[in-house]
Amino acid sequence: MRTTATILASIICLCLGTASSASAQNLFSSSGGSFAQHHTQLKLVLNADAFYPDPGGRPVALLDLKMDAGWHTYWKNPGDAGSATKIEWRLPPGVTVSSSGWPVPQKLPPAEVTTYGYEDEAVLPTVFVIASNTPPGRLAIKAHVTWLECKDVCIPAHEDVSAAFDVARPGDPIKDVADTLAADPERARLFNLWRHSMPLPQAGAGEVRAWWEKPVDADIRPLVIAWAVPKHDADFYPDASDHFEIQAPTQVFAPPTGGVGLRKLVKKFDGDWPTMVSGLLVLPPATNAPAGTNGIRYSIAYDVALPVANSAPASPSATPAPVPPNSASQPDSNLARPRDWLFLGRMLLFAFMGGLILNIMPCVLPVIALKILGFVSEAGSAPRRVRTLGVVYAAGVLCSFLVLAAGVIGIRAAGHHAGWGMQFGSPIFVVCLITLVLLVALNLFGVFEVTLGGRAVDAAGGLASRGGLAGAFFNGVLATTLATPCTAPFLASALGFAFQERAPLIVTVFLTAGLGLAAPYLILAWQPGWLKFLPRPGPWMEKFKNAMGFPMLATVVWLYFIASSNYGHSVVWLGAFLVVVACAAWIFGEFVQRGRSHRLLAGILALLLLMGGYGVALEKELNWRVPMPPAYSAGAFSSNHGLEWQPWSPAAVAAARAAGQPVLVDFTADWCLTCQVNRKTSLEAPQVRDQLKALKVVTLVGDYTHSSDAIAAELQRYQRAGVPLVLVYPKNPDLPPIFLPSVLTPGIVLSALDSAR
Please tell me whether residues 568 and 486 are part of one structural domain: yes
In a domain, 347, yes or no: yes
Among 301, 315, 289, 295, CA closest to 231: 301
Please tell me whether residues 372 and 520 are part of one structural domain: yes
SS3 content of the chain, % helix, strand, coil (to 5): 45, 20, 35
Task: Judge contact between 578 and 430, C-beta under 8 A.
Answer: no
Q: Is the pLDDT of residue 735 over 50?
A: yes
In a domain, 321, yes or no: no
Contacts of 172 (CB under 8 A, 6+ apart): 136
525-548: average pLDDT = 68
Q: Is the pLDDT of residue 46 over 90?
A: yes
What CATH number corresponds to the domain at position 142? 2.60.40.1250
Structure confidence at residue 44 (pLDDT): 95
In a domain, 175, yes or no: yes
Q: What's the residue count for the chain?
A: 757
d(C-alpha 8, C-alpha 14), whole Å? 10
Lowest average pLDDT, out of 91-105, 142-156, 535-549, goes to: 535-549
Task: Judge contact between 164 and 128, C-beta under 8 A.
Answer: no
Q: Is 280 helix (H, G, I), strand (E, B) or coil?
A: strand
In a domain, 296, yes or no: yes
Bridge partners, residue 40, by sequence: 67
Could you report the per-residue pLDDT of 212-263, keeping only the tens digit for each? 886 666 678 888 888 776 555 678 899 988 888 888 888 877 665 566 788 8
**Residue range of the domain that includes 561:** 341-622
In a domain, 389, yes or no: yes
Could you report the per-residue pLDDT of 439-450, keeping only the tens digit for each? 888 987 889 876
Q: How many domains does the chain have?
A: 4
Structure confidence at residue 584 (pLDDT): 94
pTM > 0.85 = no
- Domain end residue (candidates: 622, 653, 673): 622
User: Confidence class of residue 341 from pLDDT cuts 50, 70 and 90?
Assistant: low
Q: Between these two residues, 366 and 689, which has the higher pLDDT value?
A: 689
Structure confidence at residue 538 (pLDDT): 61
- Domain end residue (candidates: 197, 212, 247): 197
Please tell me whether residues 82 and 159 are part of one structural domain: yes
User: Confidence class of residue 583 from pLDDT cuts 50, 70 and 90?
Assistant: very high
Strand runs (DSSP E) across 618-695, as ranges?
Answer: 637-638, 644-647, 663-668
What CATH number corresponds to the domain at position 300? 2.60.40
Please tell me whether residues 553 and 642 are part of one structural domain: no
Among 444, 436, 448, 445, CA closest to 586: 448
Please tell me whether residues 382 and 516 are part of one structural domain: yes
Q: Are strands 663-668 and 644-647 parallel, antiparallel or unpaired?
A: unpaired
Helix 2-30 to helix 383-413 angle, to the nearest 10 degrees? Answer: 70
180-199: average pLDDT = 86
Could you report the per-residue pLDDT of 646-665, keeping only the tens digit for each? 888 888 888 888 888 999 99
d(C-alpha 196, C-alpha 504), whole Å? 42
Please tell me whether residues 273 and 246 are part of one structural domain: yes
Please tell me whether residues 81 and 208 are part of one structural domain: no
Please tell me whether residues 208 and 189 are part of one structural domain: no
Q: Between these two residues, 187 and 709, which has the higher pLDDT value?
A: 187
Please tell me whether residues 269 and 386 are part of one structural domain: no
666-676: average pLDDT = 82
In a domain, 207, yes or no: yes
Please tell me whether residues 459 and 387 are part of one structural domain: yes
Please tell me whether residues 583 and 660 are part of one structural domain: no
724 preceded by cis ω (within 30°)? Answer: yes
- For residue 274, the number of C-alpha atoms closer than 13 Å in the C-beta half-sphere is 27
Q: Between these two residues, 542 and 130, which has the higher pLDDT value?
A: 130
In a domain, 14, yes or no: no
Q: Which of 132-136, 447-451, 454-458, 669-673 has the highest mean pLDDT?
A: 132-136
Please tell me whether residues 192 and 212 are part of one structural domain: no
